[in-house]
Amino acid sequence: MTSRDSKGILAGALKDLPDPLALPECRGAFDVAISPPGSKSLANRVLLLAALAEGTSTLRNVPADADDVRVMIAALRRLGARIEAGVGAEAHVLRISGSAGTVRGGCELNLENAGTATRFLAAGAMLADGPVTVDGSERMRERPIGEQVSALRAMGVSAEFLLREGYPPVRIIPPARLEDLAGEVSFGRTASSQFISAVMLAAPFLPRGLRIRFTEPATSAEYIRMTARLLVLLGACVEGDLSALDKAGAALFIRAREQGTRGLRGFEWQIEPDASGASCFWSAAAMVPGASCLVPGLDGGSLQGDAGFVDILARMGATVERRSEGLRVLGTRTLAGIDVNMEGMPDAAMALAAIACFASGPSMIRGLRTLRVKETDRLAALARELSRTGAEVRIAGDGDGEGLHITPVNVERGVRSTRGRELVFDTYEDHRMAMALALVSLRMPGVQIRNPMCVAKTYPSFWRDWGRLVEAAGGAA
């Protein structure tokens, strides 16, 4: 394949990519500015709040072409929200006429493999005027939701699992009167922080608000803090110490800002760029001496915990610049190994695992138990695929400390062993796997990625941006 052919493939339409996708070698340093799409995590939170608010909301930089967000928008329309999308340059602008805290029931929602949409709408369904069935793909039917449904039942919501206890599909039957719901609910260590964020998003629309007690340290507390801060910025009242969520005994009380009212008023909001997607490009810069990558629109004030990933790269030896226009990472000749707990940013941990295979010493990445119940069992998938680089990657620890211990590959020996042969990685139809595994191609030749289209879940333009990076490095992009 010629350089021109390779460049055209990465720059082309996602649906036209070959499978597997051969990634060109990176032949030097690069200096790029990459603008990931809007954050899926933020977008699906804001979409639900806008659909429930009173009045019209305008949302900008919505990644409406990402599968998870497309699924959320379609589901909200089924629940009665009026959502108008712009065209052309305004394609990522949505105008949403809210329902003032009530959604249309009597429907079934197929949320495919969108975890945020599934959890958020299972909680939002308690505000419906009739039963709502929440279902998804075969993989979603393997992803647990029992802890969240138990919390809803404790509040007074009826719920029926239709196939297997604890897993979708589940029928949510709202109470006859929202006033009959309990005003308090408790959570321990959950399989996902999304269970907690889901009830938080519904809380301002409950007549008495909702007090959430944490009997154990909150799972992935950074995501719960993100939800709380977003609620405050959009007009809700959140009482409680967010810094205490890492300890047992914390509590939050969430209600409408004005006593005696329900919900939020319509608002205008710009979705931040996806920090999880940015982590791959920051990682790429960190592992190439002399390289740099700026991500505009992300800074120290970001709502996303993954924006703090640059601090992890700095601990490994990369240089981080906090500029007015965004966060920039510059590469180092030698990345040090690291011992770090990544519970607060498990998505970014996947890029970290990939670059740790090429560090100067071993790494221990802890706090990854929630990766077991993502789009695939990411912990097992990372160990299996990254081991093929020649690094020793094994699952270590248990419970909250479960993670990956990585002894790096001898790069010179590894390159010799892979030269002239293909290194074809499985992605398990998982977008984060595809993006993380692409990083291997910066140090090893012959890398191919199966099912490259899976990045459409959150970052449809990922391969185009990757091609820009490699082209800037003088590679065959």
pLDDT tier for residue 377 given thresholds of 50, 70 and 90 = very high
Mean of pLDDT over the chain:
94
What's residue 401's pLDDT? 87
- Written as six digits, the tokens of 281 are 């490009």
- Residue 25 DSSP code: P
Contact of 210 with 227, CB cutoff 8 Å: no
Q: Residue type at 374?
A: K
CATH number of this structure's domain 40-263: 3.65.10.10
Integer Cα distance of 447 and 452 in angstroms: 12
Angle between helices 309-316 and 275-286 (to 10 degrees): 10
Among the listed residues 170, 70, 184, 180, the one whose alpha carbon sits nearest the alpha carbon of residue 123: 170
| 379-391 tens-digit pLDDT | 999 999 999 999 9
Asked about 347 being catalytic, the answer comes back as yes
Could you give the 3-state DSSP secondary structure of residue 260? coil
Confidence of residue 2 (pLDDT cuts 50, 70, 90): very low
Q: For 433-457, what is the mean pLDDT? A: 97
pLDDT tens, 198-232?
A: 999 999 999 999 999 999 999 999 999 999 999 99
Phi, psi (degrees; rounded to nearest 5) at 319: -100, 135
Q: Is the pLDDT assigned to residue 1 strictly greater than 50?
A: no
Q: Look at residue 13 and tell me whether its pLDDT is greater than 90.
A: no
Residue 7 — very low, low, confident or very high, per pLDDT cuts 50/70/90? low
Among 347, 426, 430, 465, the active-site one is 347
61: region left, alpha or beta (phi > 0 left; psi from -120 to 50 alpha): left
Model pLDDT, residue 5: 55
User: Which of 179-193, 198-212, 407-421 is predicted with the least confidence, judged by mean pLDDT?
Assistant: 407-421
Q: According to the model, what pLDDT value does residue 8 have?
A: 67
Residues 343/219, Cβ–Cβ less than 8 Å: yes
CATH topology classification for 3-37+274-472: UDP-n-acetylglucosamine1-carboxyvinyl-transferase; Chain (3.65.10)
Q: For the chain, how far is it from start to end, CA to CA, in angstroms?
A: 11
Domain ranges of the chain: 3-37+274-472, 40-263
Mean pLDDT, residues 258-275 taken together: 91
- pLDDT exceeds cutoff 60 at 3: no
The CA R_g of the chain, rounded to the nearest whole Å, is 22
Strands (E) located in 397-477: 403-407, 423-425, 447-449
Residue 6 above 70 pLDDT? no
Token couple for 248? 């047992």
Distance CA 4, CA 10 (A): 10
Identical topology for domains 3-37+274-472 and 40-263: yes
